[in-house]
Structure 1
């Protein structure tokens, strides 16, 4: 049973290397970034973390990243942006590293592509941070920037 659900708005997301972006915009509904073709960038967000609930330290059961990446193809070759990795941090300690390509529009509602559930809930002793690695494909000489958008990010504690 969920004891606490915590969410932050997508405009709280920051890029690790802004120089690898062609554009970074905070909008009423979230954040939008344009990645230079052929680059990867990490995007970070902190989530308010309950220390105690009813005198018990809660555990992290699942996280949500409502996002949108581009998904174009050219001649059967994928040329868009992709969420490649999700790292979960407890303060400066990485407590989970998840890989697996996810792409498309998953910004409007919770679905299986924007939800990560932990088989064994994770103990979080300090601040919860999520880091998402996004890659922007480049095919041949096409240097078209590739977008990623973040609408909201959440966590469920048990």
Structure 2
């Protein structure tokens, strides 16, 4: 009899990195705050600890979850999810603003539903700033996995 076992894997927000080395990051015990210049933007990358194989079965990534706060005029415009070098989810055309660092909702939970994870999962998020310098805070992030064992 095959049963689906669930596995949630999270990482603390202060492990997030910006793609542009010029984007400043203030790392503190409760997360990381990135500074975006007015009318600028950057990709923020999040590495999820990934249980690729459990009891000889490859993982399914059910969804990714991101606790973030898009402050001032910043907004989340895109979310890409990766299995190593392979992009397995593209969500673009978003405009998520405001504080989503203290709970889960449709604005910070992204269904993936990808079976057969091979390498290790990561999330890439593109944030933009409006007409004033703005900040993006990341508190934590993770993935919900399942294994049919």
Name the counterpart of 1:135: 128
Q: 1:103 aligns with which of 87, 93, 97?
A: 97
Name the counterpart of 2:87: 94
In the alignment, structure 1 residue 28 sits paired with structure 2 residue 29: yes
Q: Would you say the 8 A contact 1:24–1:34 is kept in 2? A: yes
Give the whole-Å Cα distance in 2 for the aligned partners of 1:2 and 1:156: 11
- How many matched pairs? 142
CA 1:92–1:121: 2 relative to 1, 3 Å = closer
In the alignment, structure 1 residue 82 sits paired with structure 2 residue 70: no
Q: Would you say the 8 A contact 2:88–2:114 is kept in 1? A: no
In the alignment, structure 1 residue 14 sits paired with structure 2 residue 8: no
Structure 2 length as normaliser, TM-score?
A: 0.89
Name the counterpart of 2:106: 112
CA 1:37–1:6: 2 relative to 1, 3 Å = same
In the alignment, structure 1 residue 146 sits paired with structure 2 residue 134: yes
Give the superposition deviation at 1:2. Answer: 5.4
Superposed CA deviations along residues 79-117 of structure 1, whole A, max 9, x for unmatched, are x10011011111111111112111110001122211011
Structure 1 length as normaliser, TM-score?
A: 0.84
The runs of 5 or more residues in structure 2 that have no matched partner are none
The runs of 5 or more residues in structure 1 that have no matched partner are 72-79, 139-143
Name the counterpart of 1:4: 7
CA 1:25–1:55: 2 relative to 1, 3 Å = same
